[in-house]
Amino acid sequence: MSKKVGLIGCGAIGTVLAEAIERKLVVCDELVVFDVDVAKAQKLKAALDFPVKIAGSVDELLASKPKVVVEAAGQQAVREYYGKLLAANVDFIVMSTGALLDLNTNTPKLHFPSGAIGGLDALSPAALAGIDEITLTSRKNPKALGKTNTQEVTLYEGYAEEAARQFPREMNVAATLALTVKPAKVKVKVVSDPAVTRNTHQIHVKWRFGEMNLQFANDPHPDNPHTSALAAWSAINLLKSQLEK
């Protein structure tokens, strides 16, 4: 059976994913990529010995009949291509989970990874039993938030849905949590802190049968400080399991 992979977006995450394919950490026989910025797709292709085909559009990418498509492009891209991906009846992995909050996600073809956090396997059953309170505190260096403050500043306090809208590049983590624990509402605090070098996420949950504390301190991706390296590795892990199905 074909193990062709389609990749939408050849930036930080797309490149780490393609390198994992080249290193055979993920077994696939062809990679078809699309990026609105053709130079990004060409750069990715040039960096690999693995066979990469550049598609001129998402339609062309889907016409090549990939087994799994990975979106690593942005929330706008998900909104734009979601209908096409559904119509193509292909398994697809979404990184820009913020966009999913406004879409009908009731399809077995859609998959999203834990991304820059983890513990969804514990949060999901807790949500079934009943979550009383769930909070996410994300603390990042100002550079990772596009800011220049020299003192700690709280940039946002509110619910996950609005956080994902206001910080589309940084708060997909909040959206991933919201999608996992719904109907519970995730309270979010975003802090720009010059004292930290890592992207840190603290999740506290009070649920029907106990409490959970999860904490992540992720190295930012060197090419894109908005993105944590863990997010790319989480996409690689999910792609691997989808291809092995």
Ligand X SMILES: NC(=O)c1ccc[n+]([C@@H]2O[C@H](COP(=O)([O-])OP(=O)(O)OC[C@H]3O[C@@H](n4cnc5c(N)ncnc54)[C@H](O)[C@@H]3O)[C@@H](O)[C@H]2O)c1
Q: Which residues of this chain interact with ligand X, rule CB under 6 A?
A: 8-14, 34-37, 40, 72-77, 80, 95-97, 115-116, 169, 172-173, 176, 224, 227-228, 231
- Closest by alpha carbon to 26, among 45, 10, 7? 7
Q: Least Å distance between CB 221 and ligand X?
A: 6
Give the Cα separation of 120 and 124 in Å (integer).
6
Q: Which is nearer to ligand X, 34 or 82 (CB)?
A: 34
The one-letter amino acid at 82: Y
Using CA atoms, how far apart are residues 18 and 186, in angstroms rounded to an integer? Answer: 33
If you search the block for the tokens 């603390």, which residue do you land on?
139
Considering the complex, what minimum distance in angstroms separates the CB of residue 130 from ligand X? 25
Q: Using the structure block, give the residue that is written with the tokens 């519970």.
A: 184
Q: Which amino acid is at 121?
A: D
**Closer residue to ligand X in complex, CB, 173/243:** 173
Q: How far is the CB of 215 from ligand X (least distance, A)?
A: 15
The backbone torsions φ and ψ at residue 34, rounded to the nearest 5 degrees and listed phi first, read -135, 135
Identity of the residue, 120 or 208, whose beta carbon is nearer to ligand X in the bound complex: 120
Least distance to ligand X, CB of residue 104, Å: 19
- Check 111, 201, 221, 226 and give the catalytic one: 201
Please, which residue, 115 or 142, has the CB nearer to ligand X?
115
Select from 126, 31, 111 the least CA-distant residue to 78: 111
State the Cα–Cα distance between residues 173 and 160, nearest whole angstrom: 9
Q: Is 201 a catalytic residue?
A: yes
For ligand X, which residue has the nearest CB? Answer: 11
Instruction: Catalogue the active-site residues.
Output: 201
